[in-house]
Every structure is written in C-alpha cells, then in structure tokens.
Amino acid sequence: MKPDGFPYAAPWWLPGGNAQTLWAALASRRHFGPVPRWTRSRWIAPDGDFIDVDQAQHASPTGAPLLVLFHGLEGSSASQYAVAFADFAAANGLAFAVPHFRGCSGELNRAPRAYHSGDFEEINWILKRFAAENPGRPLLAVGVSLGGNALMRWAAEMGASASQHVRAVASVCSPLDLAAGGHAIGRGFNRLVYTRMFLGSMVPKALKKLEQHPGLFDRDALLAARNLFEFDNLFTAPLHGFRDTQDYWSRASAKPVLHQIRVPALALNARNDPFVPAVSLPTPQQVGRHVTLWQPAQGGHVGFPVSHGALGVPGHVRAMPEAVGHWLLAHL
C-alpha cells in the first residue's frame, strides 16, 4: 500500500468527509480548459437492449490512449468527476469516453433490468467493443464508486486475460465491500441526505420500469423502501439474478477477489469517505502484487477538492483525475 501515492490535503475551509463530498459535487470547479463537448452513440447490447456512450470531442493524436470512465450510482457524463477526467484527458492528448450504465443517459432502457455494482459482464462487452473499435489505441479504464467496484470485479474475473483489452485500471472511492458501504449510507446523516438523494432518482426510474414490464416487482413495497438495502431487496437483487440484498452485496463485492487481478490496478479510497467505512478498506495482505492501494486520510466520497484562487475558494476537483490519470499513463 502507498497511502501517500496521492498526498491529498483538504482545504482548511472544508473540514470532514461530508463537506469535502458535498462541495465537490455541488460547487467545485470541474475543468480548467473549455467545457467538454460530447458525441453520443447508441450501442446495442448482446441481449438487444442499449446503452448510450458519450465520447469527448476534443482532438487526440492517432494512437493516443483511450481513457474509459465508468460512472457511479446514478451518475453520467455530466457528473463532476466525469467532467474533470474529460478535462484531464484533453490536457494530456487522450481520447476519452463515458459509457452510461443502462437507464443513466436520460432515456430508460428497454429490458427488465437496470445495472448493479457487480455488473462485470456489462463491463466486459463494453471494453471489448472499445478495444475492437480502437485497435490503434491502448485502453485505460477508471471506475468511480459503483463503476469502480464493477470494473475491479471485471479485472478479477478476467485474470491474466484482462491485459488483452486494457493496460491498467483504477477505482476511485469504490465500495469494494458493498455490505459495509450499504449499511453506512443507511445511517444517520447519510440516510437523511445521500440515501434520500439516490432514492429520489432511483425510485421514479424503477416505477417507469414497472410500467414497461407490469408485474416485475411489488409497487407498494418499493414505494415503502426507506434505504438502499430495502430498494436492492425489491429491485436490484431480484432483477439481476441475486436471491436478496445480502446475496447481491456478498457476490458483487470486489474486495474478496482483488487478489485475482493480474493487470496493474489502483484502488483510491479516502479514509473519511461517508459511504465507505475506513475499517472496510482492503489491506495490502488482501490484494495481490498487481494492486496498488492509495488511502489518504481525507477526500470524502469522490471529493478531493483543492483550494483555488487568492482566498482559497472556490475549490476545484482536477487534482484527483490528475493523480489517477498519470498513474494509469505510467502503466502503458
């Protein structure tokens, strides 16, 4: 483990994980260059459903690496971290793409399923297609929060064959132990703020899914769900082949299989992340030699804001993509 691989120090005016998380998401500066512009493509999935893929329009040299970002729960190419990574890619001459998980691009997907934290089969066909369509570009992949857990699950499942598709992977603030993260987000301030925010987006989409596929789940029970455990028990787990939430969180977690990874992999987690208890983070003894652990004391959940300007405000969030991006580039 190299906890100082990203020697992050939070601004004095943002004490604590919640402040660092919320400022980054709501008020931070995301880019130094022009606002990222996107070209959207629709990809048909192996089961006939679709995802939407946004590719940054900035120029990159022929043969330059392609950086693929897998977003977090209810995220998109508009999320602050996606914009910041796009800005990093533009500044460093990299091609950049954000594949949206099903239902996250602004249009509900068609199949009686959505996406989940251990969706490594989805990661697999997406990365294989990127590799096939960009034969002259080395692929690098980063996953944020949920997307990072799914990416690490993919790397573990693929083992040595992952190197046929990517040169290196990274996860940022991912709940690699889903049970620990799921229980943490369901308590106290987290439940009042973050759980309410996520359910405020996920429940309406689930109800639209029920209109598409009547009888898919119990509508009244879903409306009564007050935390992610209950939502996953009624929606996420059964729709994706899991017995219940406990089965889903157990089987989908990347932490137990990190030792199987055979490509360079970085796991960055702040130890004050409100969603991911520090006690649940992997230790050097639990990962193989291919996995690097960065666990700075501060940063929040996909926060890592940095002071900017004479008075230290407003902060920006380009430092984390800079550190993670250069780590990935070092493994080409």
- Alpha-carbon span 164 to 222, nearest angstrom: 41
- Give the active site residue among 28, 60, 105, 145: 145
What distance in Å separates the CA atoms of residue 235 and residue 256, rounded to the nearest whole number? 24
Pick the catalytic residue from 105, 116, 273, 290. Answer: 273
Does residue 301 carry a catalytic annotation? yes
Contact 81, 216 (CB under 8 A): no
Contact in structure between 116 and 236 (CB atoms under 8 Å) = yes
Backbone angles phi, psi at 151, to 5 degrees: -65, -45
31 in catalytic set: no
In the set 116, 165, 290, 301, the catalytic residue is 301
Query: What is the C-alpha separation between 48 and 56, in angstroms, rounded?
Result: 26
User: Do 24 and 317 contact (CB within 8 A), yes or no?
Assistant: yes
DSSP 232: I
Q: Which helix (H) or strand (E) holds 26?
A: helix 17-26
- Rounded Cα distance between 201 and 179, Å, is 21
For residue 145, indicate whether it is catalytic: yes
Task: Convert 101-118 to b/e letters by CB count within 10 Å (16 or more is b).
Answer: bbbbbeeebbbebbbbbb
- The overall longest dimension of the chain from CA atoms, in Å, is 58
| DSSP symbols for 169-219 | EEEES--SSHHHHHHHHTSHHHIIIIIHHHHHHHHHHHHHHHHHSTTSS-H
Q: Which residues are catalytic?
A: 145, 273, 301
